[in-house]
Amino acid sequence: MPPPAPTTPRIEASGLCRRFEIGPRTIEVLRGVDLAVAPGERLAVIGASGSGKTTLLHILAGLDRPTAGVARLDGCDLYAMSDGARAALRQRRIGLVFQAYHLLPELSVLDNVLLPARIGRIRSAEFAAVRRRARDLLERVGLADRADHRPNELSGGEQQRVALARALMNDPDVVFADEPTGNLDSESGEAVLRCLFELSAGPQRTVILVTHNPEIAARCDRTVHLRDGRIESSPIAPIAPH
């Protein structure tokens, strides 16, 4: 029998460069990064502070235009799109978890989780089902009883679990997590990681996790190392379902 046809990478980078002009200085943050991540794969990007991890994540998530190179989602060039089209795609298909929780302090926990769905202009007939999904996500991260609280009434670990529920609200194809435990103690960080991996489980959802911690990276399917804006090991994975 012939071998199965290769699967299109969920996320792909080709020759990514990112430079910043600061006065007379040019700072090269990424220097020709090539990367392919399969549907369903959990990838850790590890490196020291300043190695370019967060910049790479922002480009792959459609948040920051590269100086050179191409970033693709399911074969679609993210930066060939208009800003509006890219924002709409990001809203539908990408979930983001940052080291800082970025919860809106004036909203309840439940309304923070609902934000991605509200941005998508859900129809009134759908709202009850969407609200049930938000409450279900809060239950799955262990915070069902905190739905009506404000973020400042929660611990850091609880706020990060709310941020994770928000990232998953629209059932994204890709979850990007940038040092999601960086501000947390070990117990709170473990709770966040457990929720991240349990809630993102599935044959098609891809997770890209930025970390400086090798123990956290080891919990992913594969690790790539960034040093001075370049990938040092295993940049291209065999593309196969998870």
Mean pLDDT of 6-23: 90
Angle at CA of residue 24, ends 19 and 25, nearest 5° = 40
In a domain, 70, yes or no: yes
Tell whether 4 is covered by a domain.
no
- Quickly state the pLDDT bin for 234 (edges 50, 70, 90): low
Residue 240 lies in a domain: no
Phi, psi of 209 (to 5 degrees): -115, 120
Whether 5 maps to a domain, the answer reads no
C-beta of residue 196 within 8 angstroms of C-beta of residue 175: yes
Three-state DSSP class for 161?
Answer: helix
Within a domain: 222: yes
Given a cut of 50, is residue 242 above it in pLDDT? Answer: no
Residue 4 pLDDT grade (very low, low, confident, very high; cuts 50, 70, 90): very low
* φ, ψ (nearest 5 deg) of residue 34: -115, 135
Counting the structural domains of the chain, the total is 1
Nearest C-alpha neighbor of 32 from the set 224, 236, 230 = 230
Q: Can you tell me the distance from the alpha carbon of 84 to that of 81, in angstroms, rounded to the nearest whole number?
A: 8
Mean pLDDT across 38-56? 93
- CA distance linking residue 240 with residue 215, whole number of Å: 25
Instruction: State the CATH number of the domain containing residue 93.
Output: 3.40.50.300
pLDDT digits over 90-131, tens only? 999 999 999 999 999 999 999 999 999 888 666 666 788 899
Could you list the residue range(s) of the whole structural domain that residue 146 is in?
A: 11-231
* Dist. CA 124–CA 141, nearest whole Å: 26
In a domain, 6, yes or no: no
In a domain, 215, yes or no: yes
| Residue 241 clears pLDDT 60, i.e. is over it | no
Residue 87 and residue 120 in contact, taking contact as beta carbons nearer than 8 Å: no
pTM summary value: 0.89
Q: Edge-to-edge strand order for the sheet containing 222-227?
A: 94-97, 174-178, 206-211, 42-46, 222-227, 230-231
Asked if residue 242 belongs to a domain, the reply is no
> Position of tokens 């790539």?
224
